[in-house]
Amino acid sequence: MKYIFQRMKRFCGFVTGFVFFLSGIVKLLDPVGAGLVMDGYFDFLHLGFMAPASKFFGVAFALAETIIGTGLITGVWRKTVALSAIILQGFFTLLTLLLVIFNPEMDCGCFGEAIHLTHWETFVKNIILICLLLIYYIPQKHLGETKRRKYISFSIVTASVIMFMVYSWAYMPLVEFTDYKPGLSLKTGNS
């Protein structure tokens, strides 16, 4: 029974880690799109004075999401990573609840400019993720120990993600999800 419980906890951690990683990496692919999403949130929260830092905050949130996702997938620092994920997901869930209540004309930005979800779809996704994270985290004593090789995997992935982020920030992103793709004629919308 204990083995099944451990496997269920690891499965919940892996699924949420995968969603965090995917969400973060898609935003890191397109820092301009991540900045546009943050700009929308700053407008919604009446924090327009922070607009010049939109791209920075968009990339910082995406990097944090990706690293937390990597930690959940690999299973390193399980208590710390799980608690960080719960706090971040709780924040996103409350923010999404505000979007559901006030229904502004904006995208949630969960997956940057790549995948667009409605406010209700995002809220349901966030509730499911927070439930999975709580199953993973509670009780803490059953999180288990981390094998040393997991730290190596975590370090390699994290270093790769940071290099990828720096490249996307400094040069043309590998993939552009906004309407301003290279080679697109802005006049007609066709390439």
- Percentage of the chain lying above the pLDDT 70 cut: 88
Quote the pTM value.
Answer: 0.86
Tens digits of residue pLDDT in 29-69: 888 888 888 999 999 999 989 999 999 999 999 999 999 99
Which DSSP category does 115 fall into? Answer: B
C-beta atoms surrounding 100 within 10 Å: 14
Tens digits of residue pLDDT in 131-146: 999 999 887 776 667 7
Among 80, 89, 87, 77, residue whose Cα is nearest residue 15: 89
The length of the chain, given as a count of residues: 191
The strand pairing partners of 111, in sequence order, are 115
Separation CA 166–CA 109 (nearest Å) = 21
